[in-house]
Amino acid sequence: MTLLVLLFLGSQLLCSWAESPPVVEPLSPACNDSAVEAAADLALRQINANQREGYVLGLYRIFSVQEHPQKITGSVFYLTLDVVETECHVLSRRLWKDCKNRAMHETVFGQCKATLYINKPRRIVHLHSYECTLQPVPSSSFLRICPDCPVPGCPTEPKYLETAVVSLAKFNKESQQAHHFSVLNVTKASMQWVVGPSHFVEFTIQETSCSKNESIADVSKCEPLSSELAHTGLCKGTVMDSQIDHHQFVSISCEIYDPQAPALGEREQHPGRRSQKPDKDDDESHEHHHHHGRKKNQHPHKHEHKQGHGHEHRHPSPSEASHFSPHLEKTVGWVKVLPPKVEHVSLHTLPENQKEHIDGKPVPPEKANPVPAPPDTHGVADVKKLQTDTSEGKPGLTKPATGPAILPFPEGPLQSDACPGEPKFVNVIILPLLPNPVKIAVSPGQTVTE
Residue 391 above 50 pLDDT? no
Residues 121 and 136 in one domain: yes
- Residue where one domain finishes, among candidates 239, 259, 279: 259
pLDDT at residue 339, as a whole number: 85
* Judgement on whether residues 324 and 445 belong to the same structural domain of the protein: yes
Position 443 in a domain: yes
Question: Residue 6 — very low, low, confident or very high, per pLDDT cuts 50/70/90?
Answer: low
My answer on whether 40 and 130 are in the same domain is: yes
CA distance linking residue 296 with residue 239, whole number of Å? 40
* Any domain includes 275: no
- Cβ of 94: how many Cβ atoms within 10 Å? 19
Question: Percent of the chain, pLDDT > 70?
Answer: 62
Domain membership flag for residue 291 = no
Q: Are 359 and 401 contained in the same domain? A: yes
Distance CA 370, CA 392 (A): 25
| Within a domain: 359 | yes
> Is the same domain home to 160 and 66?
no
Q: Which of 259, 283, 300 is the last residue of a domain?
A: 259
Q: Are residues 166 and 63 in the same domain?
A: no
Number of separate domains in the chain: 2
CATH number of the domain encompassing residue 48: 3.10.450.10
**How confident is the model at residue 392, as a pLDDT?**
38
Provide the whole-model pTM: 0.69
Q: Is residue 13 part of a domain?
A: no
Q: What is the CA radius of gyration of the chain?
A: 26
Would 296 be classed as within a structural domain?
no
Looking at the structure, do residues 110 and 173 belong to the same domain, yes or no? no
Together in a domain, 138 and 165: no
- Report pLDDT digits (tens) over 114-130: 999 999 988 999 999 99
In this structure, are 106 and 212 located in the same domain? no
376 and 396 in a common domain:
yes
Residue 312 lies in a domain: no
Answer yes or no: do 35 and 136 share one domain: yes
pLDDT over threshold 50, residue 428: yes
Contact in structure between 140 and 164 (CB atoms under 8 Å): no
User: Residue 43 is part of which domain span?
Assistant: 22-145+318-449
In-domain check, residue 299:
no
123 lies in the same domain as 165: no
Last residue of a domain, one of 211, 233, 259: 259
Q: pLDDT digits over 333-361, tens only?
A: 999 999 877 554 444 445 444 443 333 34
Residues whose CB falls within 8 Å of the CB of residue 164, separated by 6 or more in sequence, listed in order: 183, 186, 201, 203, 235, 237
